[in-house]
Chain A
Amino acid sequence: MAIKKNPIIDNIPHEEFQDNETLEKLVEELNQNGVGVVVGALDKLIDWGRSNSLWPLTFATSCCGIEFMAVAAARYDMARFGFEITRNSPRQADVILVNGTITTKMAPVLKRLYNQMADPKYVVAIGGCAISGGPFTKSYHVVKGVDKIIPVDVYVPGCPPRPEAFLYGMMQLQRKVRVENFFGTVNRKEQDPYKEKMDEQYVELLKQQEEA
């Protein structure tokens, strides 16, 4: 884990933080004497926990949603990976699985759902329609790829993808979660893209009020 600042602790000089050998030796010694000690970064522990309890939002527009139900059922059993707690409210969900076609009419709704989710949040685009419009790219009413509306972490191709592909895609998301810095960053994946916009609007609003 990257340590960005030099930690200032009075009794321990900074060099000792990078002295891994002594620590490893110490742990080995303790283990030999029957003391169960593990040394690691707290980040890794938290990411391990987070990656194995990703709660998806139940969001399905068409066929892929039925396959998602099959993944949740007994044979494919996504509970093995910790995804089984599907949430009906975006406020409680970690990941939104975009199952199916997103139409022009649905786009603002999806965007709102995404904005309602709490950070850190992830998006998995499932199926050809969510990736690129799929068989409906020619249509006048279909969004050609959900990444035009919200940032996507993992793409799972297929029409609809097989349940194995669902699980593989979710495992890729787990990999992504595991290498993240939970501490040391602001606990956000990216800058809020709407922050500046909001500020501008706010300034304008203030101006209007002042004029009035």
Chain B
Amino acid sequence: MEENEKSICPETPQPQPVQEEKKETAPTDKSTSQPTAAPTPKPAAPRPTPPPASPAKNEIKPEVVTPEELHERLAHLKAEGYSLLENLTGTDWGEEGMGVVYSLTNPETFDMTHVKVIAADKETPYLDSVTDLWDIANFYEREVYDFYGIIFLNHPDLRRLFLREDWVGHPFRKNGYEESNNPEIAETDEPISDLAVKYTLTPDGKLHKEETPLFAEEDYVINLGPQHPSTHGVLHFRTRLEGEIITKIDPHLGYIHRGIEKISEELTYPQTLALTDRMDYLGAMQNRHALCMCIEQALGVEVSDRVQVIRTIMDELQRIDSHLLFFSCLCQDLGATTSFLYGFRDREKVLDIFEETCGGRLILNYNMIGGLAYDIHPNFQRRVKEFIPMMRKNLKEYDDIFTGNVIFQNRSKGVGILSKEQVISFGCTGGTGRASGWHNDLRKHRPYAAYDRVEFKEVVRTEGDSFARYMIRLDEIRESLHIIEQLIDNIPEGKIAEKMKPVLKLPVGSYYSAVEGSRGILGVHIESKGDKMPYRLHYRATGLPLVAVMDTACTGYMIADLIAIGGTIDYVVPDIDR
């Protein structure tokens, strides 16, 4: 069977050079994986007795600063080592006014600190921008401006991020937003402005608006998207070219912005779970895990050991699913259709496992607050154990058919290089960050679920180019298989769900939890006022930093490389837009 498939593959017209190329890459692969030698599954270490459930271990107590001292304080914290802006949540606190919670992280130790600021003016609130400290603040602040209308002074380009430029009002404001002001179906094409807007404060305390052109009159700008087969969803890049070289990319988002965060404010906590799967549909398990974990920790609920282990296995299966899709789509985008079919062949096996237990293929609805929706299917363990050796074998096929391909190597090695400083400044977590030498795997650095008692390697590379990002994903599939192998025979007995009330009320406060999603840190920030519905629910999208970095990653490379760079950076658009 394997022989047949190999002989029909048209991607290796010249087997000789492919073989040579493969030898070159082999030593680098060895350090991270041994696919052939099927390792004997190690029994997982017994779990230490859990500490007594303490209420709300994920509660954040942000340090409140005044708008005047905000910039200075954040600059000071950055100098202290908190050089990653992990999350930025805008909130309308009603009477108190509107403001922002900055979540800063130390990129080495992964300690977190939170700073909260409330703008003085309630009608036209304004705050100092921190775009000079963190690159990602550019997009985060534009998002907050879009949703709340908070103006960030000295922000170089304060346009709306998701909504149309002729949109009236700011939908996340608790009062003052009229839905009837905007049509449900826009009749006209969107007016896309060519002007970057900058607000400054005049000495007499008034806002001054300054408009500068994004592109010069004689610039050659082409549009990629919104409907383009290789942008992985609907997303619009305005790309400025100098000959064939990209000199600037202006990403235009929001074509799939559904306002999940706003809808969630009108849903009870168990209801909010339904929407998580539809954000990053290739990380459905992990998204829901993050939200469940955040609510459980806020309530002080300790889920059983069985739930933790099953959640870990499911997260890893989801990661394999996502990375297989990454591989398939990248191959398809670069013209290797056979590899696409190979990837999907194996992905179907993962989906079979999911389907038997969860009933769904893509939208799984498996995790619930306090446990799982249902117990695993009797066939689950058998199927997973069959899948692991098969996947290991097939990963070798991937290397044979695509990794060693000369065309792919030439198009990806040394292309789209991101340095470690850049990925930290842009907050690019997940495989993209790890390809640039940044150890950012939350499963290692802030262990949750059952990750503290399995043995696995954090796959890190230092090249930072497209090829490194590609290899990271393939190697992570191997590590995920290794994790599943350790747990699959050791699923402890226990309850699959704690008994929860149908209506939950979170204690008053702010809560933040994060998991390592398929493509980076997925955080959940909940503001609760003690109601049965969240007052503010914000997701730290894994994809937003990845799109923000596209400008930096593509500048200086050719237009043909944009697809390969975008493919390896691996963003999912519904996760960006939410």
Contacts and interface: CB of A to CB of B under 8 A. Distances in A.
A160 B362 CA distance: 7
Interface in A172-201: none
Contact of A67 (B179, B229, B329, B361): B361
A143 B185 contact: yes
B198 interface: no
A75 B227 contact: no
Contacts of B162: 105
B382 interface: no
B325 A66 contact: yes
B278 A105 contact: no
A144 B347 CA distance: 32
Contact of A106 (B256, B262, B361): B256
Interface in A101-132: 101, 103-109, 112-113
A208 interface: no
Contact of B275 (A62, A69, A135, A162): A135
A104 B183 contact: yes
Task: Sort chain A's interface into a size bin.
Answer: 35 or more
A88 interface: yes
A99 B59 CA distance: 39
B186 A108 contact: yes
B227 A109 contact: yes
Given A74-B345, A88-B229, A62 B574 contact: yes
A62 B233 contact: yes
Contacts of B256: 61-62, 100-101, 103, 106
B80 interface: no
A131 B363 CA distance: 18
A63 interface: yes
B344 A61 contact: no
Interface string B246-268: 00000000111111101100100
A63 B254 CA distance: 16
Contact of B179 (A100, A140, A143): A140
Interface residues of B, number: 50
A141 B258 contact: yes
B255 A103 contact: yes
A125 B341 CA distance: 26
B153 interface: no
A60 B228 CA distance: 9
B122 interface: no
Interface in A61-88: 61-63, 65-67, 69-70, 73-75, 88
Contacts of A105: 162-164, 186, 190, 254-255, 257
A57 to B, nearest CB: 8
Nearest to B340: A73
A186 B179 CA distance: 43
A139 interface: yes
B226 interface: yes
A104 B361 CA distance: 28
Contacts of A25: none
Contacts of A107: 185-186
Interface centre among A135, A136, A140, A148 (most CB of B within 10 A): A140
A interface majority secondary structure: loop
Contacts of B229: 58, 88
B166 to A, nearest CB: 11
B234 A108 contact: no
A62 B182 contact: no
Given A106-B234, A139-B262, A140-B262, A70 B348 contact: yes
A149 interface: yes
Contacts, number: 129
Nearest to B345: A74
Contact of B574 (A63, A135, A139): A63
A141 B257 contact: yes
Interface in A40-66: 58-63, 65-66
B255 A61 contact: yes
Interface string A6-26: 000000000000000000000
A177 B70 CA distance: 64
Contact of A104 (B185, B262, B275): B185
B345 A75 contact: yes
A15 B427 CA distance: 80
A58 B111 CA distance: 44
Interface in B484-521: none
B281 interface: yes
- Most chain A CB within a 10 A radius of its CB, from B254, B255, B340: B255
A138 interface: yes
B330 to A, nearest CB: 13
Nearest to A113: B227
A142 interface: yes
B281 A62 contact: yes
Contacts of B363: 63, 159-160
B20 to A, nearest CB: 30
Interface of B: 162-164, 171, 179, 182-190, 226-229, 233-234, 254-260, 262-263, 266, 274-275, 278, 281-282, 325, 328-329, 340-341, 344-345, 347-348, 351, 361-363, 573-574
25 contacts: A61-B234, A62-B278, A62-B574, A63-B574, A66-B281, A66-B362, A67-B362, A69-B344, A74-B344, A88-B228, A103-B258, A105-B163, A105-B255, A108-B188, A108-B190, A112-B189, A136-B275, A139-B258, A140-B171, A140-B182, A140-B259, A143-B185, A149-B185, A159-B363, A162-B361
Given A63-B362, A74-B344, A103-B258, 11 more contacts: A58-B229, A62-B573, A74-B345, A75-B344, A88-B228, A103-B254, A104-B164, A104-B186, A107-B186, A139-B258, A143-B184
Interface of A: 58-63, 65-67, 69-70, 73-75, 88, 100-101, 103-109, 112-113, 135-136, 138-144, 148-149, 159-160, 162
